Structure 1
Amino acid sequence: MQLDISSASLPVYEALASDVRLRIIQLLSTNKMNIKELAASLGLSSAIVTKHVNKLEQAGIIKTERVPGKSGIQKISILKVDHIDVEFPQKIYHSFETHTASIPVGHYVDYHVAPTCGLATRESFIGEVDEPKFFMDSKRMDAGILWFTKGFVEYKTPNLLKTDERLEQIDISFEISSEFPFTNNEWPSDITFSLNGTELGTWTSPGDFGDARGKFTPDWWPSNINQYGLLKTLRLTKDNGTYIDGDALSDVSINDFDGKNDIWDFRIQVKDDAKHVGGVTLFGSGFGNHDQDIKFNVYYS
């Protein structure tokens, strides 16, 4: 589950702001339970536990299923979410000027991918899934999502800096997750990023998320496959190395990469020898939780 700092996420924050509800989540992380079983474990009445369960269910953290029991139909509570990511507003650096570019996820210029893999537009799949040859289909330019188990996709973006403009920082943001044949919230994948042939570092995606439908995912898209990713910002600084969402990724700085080229190459890759070969899913405009493509923000002075 991915949250942001807005009123739309308040039901989840409110649901978590209770010792009792946190204990219910802990209990459901080990087993499915009915109200009577939860009440006994918590030492509370069934009526009170029901109110707390309803709060968690409304927030989308747990779900309830009706199953036959000894005394008729009983309601079983099941933990629905095993990961919550909170996206804070991006900090803006007012002291720098900015060049901005956006690259649709289907506008890669080179690739080498292995199944499971595929692409889709907002209307339909592109060709057949798990057939790498369709990554060269002309319809790929309209793709809003792509996925592969190992290999890479590479994008190009123009260097918009003028000769008198000094590069200070590069931010690259994208919505990304691992790739599992259906979905698996706990499916780590080591994803490596490179710029102009310089390896910036490797980030481990925690999973391929399907516990809730993506906010922008089209209605035709099946509910049992990739629904959304995590919005990540890769930041290449002038003196302090490379970061991803504020966490240090490597010591590579702007001084280590050739930023004078007219064209910059950006590669997203899962290496054959990675510890976790868990694939990549890239969500672009019209898919996932963020209606955006791959964004480059280039800060200069």
Structure 2
Amino acid sequence: MSEFKQEMIRYPASRITEIGKALSGDLRVRILEALGDKPMSVSQLAEALGVTQPTITVNVQMLELAGLIVSATGANREKICSVTCKSILLELPVKPGDGLHRMEEIHMPIGMYSRCTIQPTCGMAGKDGAIIGSIDDPRVFYMPDRIEASLLWFSGTGSIEYYFANSLPPGVPLDELQLRAELCSEAPSFQMAWPSDITLYINDLPVGTFRSPGDFGDRKGKLTPDRWFHGTEYGALTEWKVTAGGSYINGVRAAETTLADLDLKYLEPILIRFEVSTEAEYQGGLNLFGSGFGDYPQDIVLSFVRSIER
């Protein structure tokens, strides 16, 4: 018989959904059955269960993420899987928020904006580095292909807006609302010294202005496709945060807007807007990066950091 690392694993209410998904597939249950007798390699599991190795690999990964099995590299560099425990204990939620993680995140593709106000130079590119539509044609920003964008840009002044759902149900207190995005200024080709004042608004309230120092193109972006050769390569990963006491950019106080001011409601969307204002000191445009461009493998991330009892 397989030696269990633990007799029982206890899971908090915040992991019920994750564990439930891991156990909801018949094949994943059969994998646990097979591993209950002894550790097995991926190829052995595939042979024993009559499915392909890629299928086994995907399902093993789900069980690993849930902590139900662990894997190690065998003598022939093959993945050897084993179960972690004999039984599990799931704690049920007893009050609002118990079933949530400390931080709930929503990842928004940059092409899923709801409204924009832009002017040439402007444009969008997909993950492969190909231009979407035509460069410097604002109409492209309202074409269906925009959903595939991994980079978008506009020069001068302008704005782009996104709607996010509220992840926290009524009665669950919120400590912080955070937004992370990779961005920089927009200059012809690129200019390392090309400042732009980019303000984030949440529900039409300013939560801080990030002064981008330039449009970065002095090196290849870590994720930027090889076929991309239009100057801009990467941005600065920037975090805005709103708390009960005010707003911050990268940890530095930036505005007086508080969580209470945002007036968040469960059934109403949260409006996020990036704007280079006509009143800004530096009107140097905006480049916004998605998960396939720049230095960071992410789109726009809105995080809800909830309060926990101490």
Q: TM-score, normalised by structure 1?
A: 0.66
Asked if 1:255 corresponds to 2:260, the answer is yes
Task: Please tell me whether the aligned partners of residues 126 and 137 of structure 1 are also in contact (alpha carbons under 8 angstroms).
Answer: no
Unpaired runs of 5+ residues, structure 1, are 1-95
Asked if 1:140 corresponds to 2:146, the answer is yes
Asked if 1:289 corresponds to 2:279, the answer is no
Q: Which residue of 1 aligns with 2:41?
A: none
1:36-68 Cα shifts (integer Å, max 9, x gaps):
xxxxxxxxxxxxxxxxxxxxxxxxxxxxxxxxx
Task: Please tell me whether the aligned partners of residues 240 and 250 of structure 2 are also in contact (alpha carbons under 8 angstroms).
Answer: yes
Q: CA deviation at 1:198?
A: 1.1
Asked if 1:160 corresponds to 2:167, the answer is yes
**Aligned residue type for 2:191:** N
Query: Number of aligned pairs?
Result: 204
Runs of 4+ in 1 over 3 A off after TM superposition: none
- Supply the distance in 2 between the matched residues of 1:297 and 1:193 (Cα, whole angstroms): 15
1:223-276 Cα shifts (integer Å, max 9, x gaps):
x5110000011111112x111111111111112111125210100011122111
**Aligned residue type for 1:158:** A
Asked if 1:226 corresponds to 2:229, the answer is no
Q: 2:221 aligns with which of 206, 214, 219?
A: 214
Correspondence 1:1-301 to 2 at 5 A: 97-123=102-128, 124-149=130-155, 150-222=157-229, 224-239=230-245, 241-260=246-265, 262-301=268-307
- Supply the distance in 1 between the matched residues of 2:127 and 2:234 (Cα, whole angstroms): 14
- Supply the distance in 2 between the matched residues of 1:100 and 1:292 (Cα, whole angstroms): 12
Task: Please tell me whether the aligned partners of residues 195 and 257 of structure 1 are also in contact (alpha carbons under 8 angstroms).
Answer: yes
Task: Please tell me whether the aligned partners of residues 151 and 271 of structure 1 are also in contact (alpha carbons under 8 angstroms).
Answer: yes
**Aligned residue type for 1:259:** L
- Supply the distance in 1 between the matched residues of 2:281 and 2:212 (Cα, whole angstroms): 12
Q: CA deviation at 1:99?
A: 1.4
Structure label with greater radius of gyration: 2
Task: Please tell me whether the aligned partners of residues 187 and 284 of structure 2 are also in contact (alpha carbons under 8 angstroms).
Answer: yes
Q: CA deviation at 1:201?
A: 2.3
**Aligned residue type for 1:296:** L
Task: Please tell me whether the aligned partners of residues 217 and 286 of structure 1 are also in contact (alpha carbons under 8 angstroms).
Answer: yes
1:208-235 Cα shifts (integer Å, max 9, x gaps):
001100000011100x511000001111
